[in-house]
Chain A
Amino acid sequence: MNYDMEDTQNSAPGSLPPSQATKLAPRKGPDAHSTTKRSVIISLPALPLQTELMQLMTSSAPGISAFPSADGNLLSWTATIEGPDDTPYANLTFKLSFAFPSNYPYAPPTVLFKTPIYHPNVDFSGRICLDILKDKWTAAYNIQTVLLSLQSLLGEPNNASPLNGEAAELWDKDMEDFKKKVLSRHRDVDDE
């Protein structure tokens, strides 16, 4: 600060000291301040999510959709996956909840199945065992990729690291029984 002031005094009145010049820069649109103030309602970590929502809306992949929760909190979303054809989950829809950390996308969201699902990599409280949601997460992933991964997980479970051992076993041994379990476990959840 002191340095700046000295600078101002030493320089000739006509020439602008650098500190002054930088100060001048934001003044170019003096009333633009007011407009930015108005849009600041959306908190900063939410911005990438908003962009992502826009992407999701403009380029929707079939069978998946996601949207922020009704309470207006952008850090909490609900998603829907339709079970892929030629899998035991065909014609079923599954709801998931996404909870984003404030440093998203630098940390993975916490994803849970809300709809009860019978699946080797999902436990009975909906927790998912998927590497990209844990240690393999990178900032390049987004909601859409996560949902697509989960959709493919439905068709190709990773039976090497099951959360539901019975399901993993049945998947390999008795597909008919597996299908029955899937259907009996599935219930449509409606949050209202």
Chain B
Amino acid sequence: MTNPRSSTRENRVFNSVFAAREISQPTPHATPDTVFTDPGQRFGGPLVDISHVFPASSSSNHRDDPRGLSQEESSYVQDKVRWDRSWHIVTHALLLSDFPQNLNATVPLQPQKESLDGAFDHSLDNVLYPQDRLPFARDTEDIFEWHSQQVRSHFLHQVLPLIIHSRRIQAPDVFVRSCLKILEIAHHQYLHGLAILKEHMDISTPGTSMPILAKFRRDLHAIISKSVMEPLSAALRGLLERHIYTVLGLPLTNGNENSAIVPEDSYSEEACRQILKLVESLRNVGLAGEKFQVAFAEIMNNSMTKYVYRCCKGLWDSEDGTSYNNATGSSGKEGVVLPRAAHHSSPSRCVTNLCEWIENRFAKLTVQVLSVLDIRTQVSWGDKEKYKEMGIGRLAELRINELFDIVKNWPRSGGALDDLRTAITTPQRRLHLTEAFANTLNEKLLHPGASTLQILQTYISMIWSFHALDNSKVLLDRVAYPLQLYLCSREDTVRIIITGLLADPEDSEEKGTSVEKLVELAHLLNNVSEKIEQRVNDEDLDWHDMEWVPDPADAGPGYKRSKNADIIGTLIGALGTQDVFIKEFQNIIGENMLKYDGAFEREIKVLELLKVRFGEAPLQACEVMLKDIQDSGRVNGLIRKNQKLNITSEEEAAILSHRAEKEHRQTRRSGGPRLEEAVEKCSVNAKILSRLFWPQLQDDNFLVPSEIAALQRRYEEGFASLKASRKLTWLHALGQATVELELEDRTIVEEVHTWQATVIWAFQSDNETAPQHSVEQLVEHLEMEEPLVRSALKFWVNKLVLHEVSPSTFAVLETLNQEDRARSNAQAAASSVANDNDGDDESKQLKKDGIESEKMQLYWQFIQSMLKNSSSQMPLQQIAMTLKMLIMDGFPYSNEELREFLARKVADGELELVGGKYKLNKK
């Protein structure tokens, strides 16, 4: 763009050649009163048919004719000349001067009122009312239109370039201000000329000026907003935004930190004034049109979102909230502040804050700005309500997005749930909430990376949170279903729940083991059990319930109201059938009861709980198990007394260099009670179990040391004398033994498994030479499985009792000299990481492997039969599917595991893999 001045000059040169209307030259006085002739007519000659051309003008009266026209032709010529002259005078006077370059210098408006004389007034009359005053003048023009035209051109050629230029060189804020100033000056200038016309019109014909003026204004505003708004909008928006944020107390920076809302102060008041001033000048120059309003609305809209994100994000605690509510005072005030929609629930901190902010700042500013804009739509009370509801809606959106984290933070996120409760009032929002949450849940939790414990913990928090959110449970049911399904697919779910139930709350608090167990459940169990009693009563029949509310509108069929959160109930109910649950419970309490002594109060408590839930019958087995343990304590004492087991054991103990105290478990082959026995001071104590009621027990058999076997026989006799019709069967592999080892330089006392004790027993000797045993020998002598032997040996090596003299051969480490100790230490350190829990883990591992291979044997049977009968060759997919479909307890392994298993069978030569299909290897 060139210098505006030079371009103006160019324009003037151009205009002087090709006469533009605004600088029309007057008809010279010397020129004869004539007009241009029509084509084919003599120049200067009389017009032939004037009336034909001006039929209307012939009848008009000519009151102010200075020359007194005698002929029609001459009056026409006269009028025309006068019109032209008047036009020239008027347009010359009203011609806009160049736009001042220096905005600050006050330039007197042209033309000055004083300079206008009578000739101007006279001419103006002529120009304004040509029909009256110059009836015969041809080609008269509208002076207003001319002015508009002039203004338009002036604006486009002089003002607009200036604005665009200043945008380029000035900072946005300065630009907005200077732009407005330019526009104001221009506006002033334009209106000045018009004002002169208007004044004149008001004198001559009062009341006719208004529509003309309004039209001019409208045209002018249209052209200004059309041309200026586009370059101006960005800067204006920035400025406006900054001011609005200041007024509303929002932080201007985009940092992520939670900065509090700035309270109203002198700055915000100043900003408010600025805004109003700005809006006013915008309105004056015609920029307060639709575009500005849209921009303003957008900024206000953003500011509300920003407020919600700034002030409410991550603000979940409710503790300060309550104190805050109390501090802000009376319920009356809350009633005013909150929208009607939120009245039914107790206001939370964020909602109250938000509503107050909207009431005191947001709505206030809106009202002020809109009143300056002078738009007919005033902000009504209802609008304010709407703003608040919008604000709460935004808050709800935010909370829904945060919901997963809120749930995870339970119970430190009560405030956020209060917010949500206020906000989710419509079924749509509730639906949105559940959908959004289910999505997050899928993404964040229901994947193989999350541990079952973690999922269960989240589920518990979910139950709590959703109960707080909506005690009708409808929402929870909607989101929990996929979670439940997923939990069912996890094998360890039930086990975790039960160990959680059986966990010791005090214990876990001290040791901080809550990471491993669902201690929450144990806590709940201690508090919740009485609530379950109430649940038995059907609430539908409680006619005295004054807090009854109808079922929620979006409740599904079969909806059942329950008032308390009932975590345990939901968890147990959610996870498949009760059979699975009870079976697992049986396994776990069985394990516990065999491992420890004591009253098993916790087990009894959980059993009572489960009885309430499932009824007595399914839990009968568990009851019998508990009773077995209780009874066997009594029976055990009796037998030992009768058989005088204590004394003999002490005698025997004296001659043993290694002493073992054993605890053994016995089973009767054919039904009836089982027995377990444990010995104090080299004696046998037993626990007697009723085999039919106990879950499958590990029964690796091996030869117990003969001394112990003797004790067992005596115990059996004692038992036989007590209960004649029953017989004991010993389960050697289960149980505990206390072993005291007297080595040359040290004595070791260990609480170990019976098989570990048996292995070390084999190393005992009375003479000097320490015996050496190889693994094979031990397997043979003890008739024990090799893995078990190895595991026991490893255990004792770690305890520095044995050492491996040569591969697979072990000997007792009688003395620990420095060197040995160092080596052993190194050995121990190396293996301790992996085997910290020594044999315990391994035995479990063994046990698991055993069960697995046993099960796998069954699956192998299936696979063989399948390939033999239904189809001679099958792909992996089909095998897996068939197994899943046909095995009643389900096939818990994945395709990959199955593939591995089949690969092993292929390696063993039992299967063949041909073209992706497995088939039996025909021998």
Using CB atoms and an 8 Å cutoff, list the residues of chain A in contact with chain B. Answer: 13-14, 16, 20, 24, 27-36, 42, 50-51, 53-54, 56-58, 60, 65-70, 72, 74, 77-80, 95, 190-192
The 13 listed contacts between A and B (C-beta, < 8 Å) are: A13-B543, A16-B538, A27-B560, A29-B573, A30-B560, A33-B558, A35-B577, A56-B865, A57-B858, A57-B861, A65-B868, A67-B870, A95-B869
Residues of A within 8 A of B866 (CB): 67
Segment of B50-58, B89-97, B283-291, B879-887 engaged in the interface with chain A: B879-887
Beyond the given A58-B858, A192-B872, please list 12 additional residue pairs across the A-B interface where CB-CB is below 8 A.
Answer: A13-B543, A16-B541, A20-B541, A36-B577, A50-B888, A57-B858, A65-B865, A67-B869, A68-B870, A68-B886, A70-B874, A95-B869
Q: Which of B481, B573, B615, B886 contacts A30 (CB 8 A)?
A: B573
Q: Which of A35, A68, A80, A192 contacts B873 (CB 8 A)?
A: A192
The answer for the CA separation of A7 and B220 in the assembled complex, in Å, is: 86
Q: Are B577 and A70 in contact (CB under 8 A)?
A: no
Closest to B566 in A: A30
Write out the residue numbers on chain A whose beta carbons fall within 8 Å of the beta carbon of B560.
Answer: 27, 30
Q: Does B864 contact A (CB under 8 A)?
A: yes
Cα A50 to Cα B574 in complex, Å, equals 26
> Considering only CB atoms, which chain B residue lies closest to A192 in the complex?
B872
Contacts of A66 in B (CB 8 A): 865, 869
Main secondary structure on chain A at its contact with chain B? mixed
Residues of A with C-beta under 8 A to B865: 56-57, 65-67
The 7 closest A-B pairs by CB, nearest first: A67-B869, A31-B573, A78-B869, A67-B865, A70-B871, A70-B870, A57-B861
Once the chains bind, are B577 and A32 in contact (CB under 8 Å)?
Answer: yes
Q: Quick check: B869 and A79 within 8 Å, CB to CB?
A: yes
Could you give, for residues 571-606 of chain B, a 1 whenever the CB lies within 8 Å of some chain A CB and a 0 otherwise? 011101110000000000000000000000000000
Size of the B side of the interface (Cβ < 8 Å), in residues, is: 40
When distances are taken between beta carbons in the complex, the residues of chain A under 8 Å from B578 are: 29, 32
Given contacts A65-B864, A72-B882, contact A31 B869 (CB under 8 A): no
On whether the beta carbons of A28 and B886 are closer than 8 Å, the reply is no
Q: B869 and A50: CB pair below 8 A? A: no
Question: Quick check: B570 and A20 within 8 Å, CB to CB?
Answer: no
**Is residue B683 within 8 Å, beta carbon to beta carbon, of the partner chain?**
no
**In the bound complex, what is the Cα–Cα distance between A31 and B482 (angstroms)?**
12
Most central of A13, A57, A78, A191 by chain B CB within 10 Å = A57
Residues 522-561 of B contacting A (Cβ, < 8 Å): 538, 541-543, 558, 560
Asked if B484 CB lies within 8 Å of chain A CBs, one says: yes
**Contact between chains at A67 and B874 (CB < 8 Å):** no
Question: Contacts of B574 on A, CB cut-off 8 Å?
Answer: 31
Neighbouring A residues of B870 by C-beta, 8 Å: 67-70, 77-78
Most interface-central of B484, B858, B888 (chain A CB within 10 A)? B888
How far apart sit A180 and B887, CA to CA, in the bound complex (Å)? 42
- A contact residues around B864 at 8 Å (CB): 65
Complex: A51 Cα to B887 Cα, angstroms: 9
Contact, CB under 8 Å: A80 / B869: yes
Given the interface contacts A50-B888, A68-B886, does A34 sit within 8 Å of B577 by beta carbon? Answer: no
Q: Give Cα distance in the complex from A104 to B348, angstroms.
A: 65
- Considering the complex, give the chain B residue whose CB is closest to the CB of A96: B869
Give the shortest distance, in Å, between A191 (CB) and chain B (any CB).
Answer: 7
B891 at interface (Cβ–Cβ under 8 A)?
no
Q: Is the CB of B576 within 8 A of A190?
A: no
- CB-based A-B contact count at 8 angstroms: 91
Residues of A within 8 A of B874 (CB): 70
In contact, B481 and A34 (Cβ under 8 angstroms): yes
Chain B, residue nearest A27 (CB): B560
Assess whether B410 is interfacial by the CB under 8 Å rule.
no
Contact of B538 among A24, A51, A60, A68 (CB under 8 A): A24
Nearest chain B residue, comparing its CB with the CB of A21: B538
Residue from B570, B614, B869 with most neighbouring chain A CB atoms (10 Å):
B869
Query: Taking A50-B886, A51-B888, A70-B878 as contacts, is the C-beta distance between A77 and B573 under 8 angstroms?
Result: no
- Complex: how many Å from CA A79 to CA B865? 9
Interface membership of B613, Cβ < 8 A: yes
**Closest A residue by C-beta to B571:** A31
Looking at the assembled complex, report how far the CB atom of B887 sits from the nearest CB atom of chain A, in whole angstroms: 7
Which chain B residue lies CB-closest to A58?
B858
Min CB–CB distance A16 → chain B (angstroms) = 7
For B541, the chain A residues whose CB sits under 8 A away are: 13-14, 16, 20
B538 partner residues in chain A, CB cutoff 8 A = 16, 20, 24
State A50–B888 Cα separation when bound (angstroms).
7
Within 8 Å CB of A24, what residues of B? 538
A116 to chain B, nearest CB (A): 18
Q: Whole-angstrom distance between the alpha carbons of A88 and B481 in the complex?
A: 61
Determine how close the nearest CB of chain A comes to the CB of B68; give it in whole angstroms: 111
Q: Is B488 an interface residue (CB 8 A)?
A: yes
What B residues does A69 contact at CB under 8 A?
870
A residues less than 8 Å from B615 (CB atoms): 28
Does the CB pair A191–B577 fall under 8 Å? no
Q: Say how far A71's CB is from chain B's closest CB, in angstroms.
A: 8
Q: Which of B488, B862, B887 contacts A35 (CB 8 A)?
A: B488
* Alpha-carbon distance between A14 and B572 when the two chains are bound, in angstroms: 28
User: Inside 8 A of B614's CB, which chain A residues have their CB?
Assistant: 28-29
CA distance A27 to B874 in the complex (A): 43
A95 to chain B: closest CB distance in Å?
7
In the complex, the answer to whether B484 meets A34 with C-beta atoms within 8 Å is yes
State in angstroms the CA–CA spacing of A34 and B866 once bound together.
Answer: 31
Which residues of B770-820 are within 8 A (CB) of A?
A: none
Q: Which residues of B contact A16 (CB under 8 A)?
A: 538, 541
Alpha-carbon distance A68/B572, docked complex (angstroms): 35
Write out the residue numbers on chain B whose beta carbons fall within 8 Å of the beta carbon of A36: 577
Residues from chain A with Cβ under 8 Å of B488 in the complex = 35
Instruction: Give the distance to chain A from B891, nearest Cβ to Cβ, in Å.
Output: 12
Which of the residues B861, B872, B882 comes within 8 Å of A190, measured between beta carbons? Answer: B872
> How far is B538's CA from A75's CA once the two chains are assembled, in angstroms?
44
| Residues of A contacting B577 in the complex (Cβ-Cβ under 8 angstroms) | 29, 32, 35-36
Q: Which of B481, B576, B862 contacts A57 (CB 8 A)?
A: B862
Known: A65-B869, A67-B866, A78-B869. Is A32-B888 also a contact (CB below 8 A)?
no
Instruction: Evaluate contact between A31 and B858: CB separation under 8 angstroms.
Output: no
A192 to B484, CA, bound (A): 42
A74 contact set on B, CB distance < 8 A: 886
CA distance A119 to B543 in the complex (A): 79
Chain B residues positioned under 8 Å from A53 (CB to CB) = 886
Is the pair B885, A72 in contact by a Cβ cutoff of 8 Å?
yes
Contacts of A35 in B (CB 8 A): 488, 576-577
Q: How far is the CA of A14 from the CA of B537 in the complex (A)?
A: 9
Q: How far is the CA of A43 from the CA of B870 in the complex (A)?
A: 20
User: For residue B870, which residue of chain A has the nearest CB?
Assistant: A70
Closest to A78 in B: B869
CB distance from B617 to the nearest CB of A (A): 12
In the bound complex, residues from chain A placing their C-beta under 8 Å from that of B862 are 57, 67
CB distance from A80 to the nearest CB of B (A): 5
When distances are taken between beta carbons in the complex, the residues of chain B under 8 Å from A77 are: 869-870
Question: For residue A35, which residue of chain B has the nearest CB?
Answer: B576
Please name all residues of chain A whose beta carbon is closer than 8 Å to the beta carbon of B558 when the two chains form the complex: 33
CA distance A111 to B858 in the complex (A): 26
B839-878 to A contact mask, C-beta < 8 Å, 1/0: 0000000000000000000100110111011111110001
Bound: A188/B325 CA distance, A: 87
Residue contact B868 to A80, C-beta cutoff 8 Å: yes
List residues of chain A with CB within 8 A of the CB of B878. 70
Chain A residues with CB under 8 A of B886: 50, 53, 68, 74
Q: Which B residues lie within 8 Å of A51 (CB)?
A: 888
Q: Contacts of B887 on A, CB cut-off 8 Å?
A: 54
- Closest B residue to A29 by beta carbon equals B573
Q: When the two chains form the complex, which single residue of A28, A50, A60 contacts B861, counting CB atoms closer than 8 Å?
A: A60
A145 to B170, CA, bound (A): 102
The distance in angstroms between the C-alpha atoms of A128 and B489, with both chains bound, is 46
Chain B residue nearest to A66 (CB atoms) is B869
A54/B888 contact (C-beta < 8 A), A29-B578, A35-B488 known: yes
CA of A28 to CA of B614, assembled, Å? 7
**A72, B882: Cα distance in complex, Å:** 7
